[in-house]
Homo-oligomer: A and B are copies of this chain.
Amino acid sequence: MTDIPKLQERLREFADKRDWKQFHSPKNLSMALIVEAGELAEHFQWLTQEESFNLANEKLEAVGEELADIFVYLVRLADQLDIDLAKVVERKIDLNEAKYPADLVRGSARKYTEYQ
């Protein structure tokens, strides 16, 4: 199942069956999401950038779990606020294509950080 709306529906059913909607206020979900993002960052905090590409299997699996946790809260938050996640993502990519023209920003760290 790689389709965002289908995953979103499955996650909604999961929460509904457990009466968790009451905890899943957008405020709480935004906290839960950043808490998971912190657990993700923890895996990388003392690594060099090179090391961060080459994780041992066990660590890679743990990172995968954090990514999943973040995805779950992201989709729940979109669902609770009736935001069409796939749509805002596509719009964002379109905006970025216009904002960072490949010809201008290619291969330049300085231009990259300037453009942010």
Contact = CB atoms under 8 A, between A and B. Distances in A.
Interface of A: 1-5, 7, 10-11, 14, 17-20, 22-23, 25-28, 30-35, 37-53, 55, 60, 63-65, 67-72, 74, 77-78, 80-81, 83, 85-86, 88-93, 96-97, 100, 102, 105-109, 112-113, 116
Contacts of A7: 86, 89-90, 93
Task: State the copy count for this chain.
Answer: 4
A67 B53 contact: no
Contact of A38 (B38, B46, B88, B116): B38
* Chain A interface, >50% SS class: helix
Nearest to A68: B92
